[in-house]
Chain A
Amino acid sequence: SAVISQKPSRDICQRGTSLTIQCQVDSQVTMMFWYRQQPGQSLTLIATANQGSEATYESGFVIDKFPISRPNLTFSTLTVSNMSPEDSSIYLCSVVLGSYGYTFGSGTRLTVV
């Protein structure tokens, strides 16, 4: 299965600032996914990122708040913009391996103060 490197692993940020999270995969993949896991809750899909096209956002998530880049088949970034304490979560990137499921990065634990 693919190996995913995600960074930073954690950060504490001031409200109103932005944080960009990077996700590097060791093999080329068509689709990359970004999830949010709020404290004590399950994962929620933010968006799906395909190389060469705009990301597709799920209901409740917008590009202005969570811009995503996908410049090639092994890399993606998610930016959390104009942060507020409600954005404190774990953010995870993931890649799909056909019908065998997803491989997840180790996550970025974000705290907004």
Chain B
Amino acid sequence: GDSVTQMEGPVTLSEEAFLTINCTYTATGYPSLFWYVQYPGEGLQLLLKATKADDKGSNKGFEATYRKETTSFHLEKGSVQVSDSAVYFCALLTGNQFYFGTGTSLTVIP
């Protein structure tokens, strides 16, 4: 069935370091792909999305490219900040069914 596999955490980086969080998916058909972020004590917020192959989603310095050939949607940021500390969820949407990865906790230290 459809699923998302996400890099396990936790991830700890120094401020201004480069971030990559890997996400691969399995799906029949043509899903839309998403990254959600959950800051401490808050609900999920949509970070970025891509609805078809080769689309690049971007927001707040984060980017992810929908790679059909590798079934991946890796999240990247060139220079992380302390305020980026949160849990990041990769997700796919097929039909009206959403599948979430297990989440990757990121801590950025000054």
Which residues of chain A have a CB within 8 Å of any CB of chain B? Answer: 1, 6, 31, 33, 41-43, 45, 48, 90, 92, 96, 99-107, 109
Contact residue among A31, A45, A104 (Cβ-Cβ distance under 8 Å from B44)? A104
**Contact yes or no, A104 B45, CB < 8 A:** yes
Q: Does B22 contact A (CB under 8 A)?
A: no
Assess A107 versus B89: contact at CB under 8 Å? Given A31-B96, A45-B98.
no
Give the chain B neighbours of A96 by CB distance below 8 A.
96
Q: Is the interface of B mostly helix, strand, loop or mixed?
A: strand
The residues of A that contact B102 with a CB separation of less than 8 Å are 41-42
Q: Is B93 an interface residue (CB 8 A)?
A: yes
Nearest-CB residue, chain B, relative to A40: B103
Tell whether, in the assembled complex, residue A42 and residue B32 are in contact, meaning their CB atoms are under 8 Å apart.
no
Interface set of B (CB-CB < 8 Å, partner A): 32, 34, 36, 41-46, 49, 51, 89, 91, 93, 96-98, 100-103
Q: Which B residues are CB-close (under 8 A) to A33?
A: 98
How far apart are the CA atoms of A102 and B93 in the complex, in Å? 9
- Whether A101 pairs with B44 at a CB distance below 8 angstroms is no
Q: Which residues on the A side are within 8 Å of B43 (C-beta)?
A: 6, 90, 92, 104-107
Chain B residues in 8 Å Cβ range of A1:
46
Give Cα A90–Cα B43 distance, bound, in whole angstroms: 9
Given contacts A92-B44, A109-B41, 6 further A-B contacts (CB under 8 A): A33-B98, A41-B102, A42-B100, A43-B100, A102-B46, A103-B46
Do B49 and A107 touch across chains, with their CB atoms under 8 A apart?
A: no
Closest residue of chain B to A48 (Cβ to Cβ) is: B96
Find out whether the CB atom of A107 lies under 8 angstroms from the CB atom of B42: yes
| A107 to B36 Cα, complex, angstroms | 14
Whose C-beta in chain B lies nearest to the C-beta of A105?
B43
